[in-house]
Amino acid sequence: MLIGTSTSAHQVEGNDRNTDWWHFESNGRIKFKSESGCMQYKHYKEDIKLMKKLKLNAYRFEINFSRIMPSPGIINKTAIKHYKSVIEELNKNGIEPIPTLWHYTLPLWFYNLHGFEKKENFSYFIKYVDALLESGLDVKYILTINEPVIYASKAYLYREYPPFRTSYIMFNKVLNNILALHNEVYDILKANGYTVSFANNFMEFKSDAVLYPITKALDYTFNQRPLLQTRFDFIGINYYKTVDAIKFIRSKIIRDKKKIWYVDPKGLEKTAEREHLIFRKPIMITENGIDTLDDAYRIKFINEHFAALLKARRKGVPVLGYLHWSFIDNFEWNFGYNRNYGVIGFDNITKRRIIKPSAFALRNLAIKYAK
The pLDDT tens digits for 125-159 are 999 999 999 999 999 999 999 999 999 999 999 99
Neighbouring C-alpha atoms within 13 Å toward the C-beta of 130: 10
Say if CB 130 and CB 122 are below 8 A apart. Answer: no
Closest CA to 97 of 26, 170, 195, 15: 195
Kindly report the three-state secondary structure assignment for every residue of 151-192: HHHHHHCCCCCCCCCCCHHHHHHHHHHHHHHHHHHHHHHHHC
User: Residue 198: pLDDT above 80?
Assistant: yes
Q: How many Å apart are CA 366 and CA 371, to the nearest integer?
A: 8
**What are the pLDDT digits (tens) for 346-359?**
887 888 899 999 99
User: DSSP strand E in the chain: where?
Assistant: 2-6, 58-62, 96-100, 141-146, 195-206, 235-244, 261-262, 283-287, 319-325, 344-346, 353-355
Average pLDDT, the chain: 94
User: Residue 112: pLDDT above 60?
Assistant: yes
User: What is the architecture, at CATH level 2, of domain 2-369?
Assistant: Alpha-Beta Barrel (3.20)
Closest CA to 331 of 321, 343, 341: 341
**What are the pLDDT digits (tens) for 262-316?**
899 999 999 999 999 999 999 999 999 999 999 999 999 999 999 999 999 999 9
The domains of the chain are located at 2-369
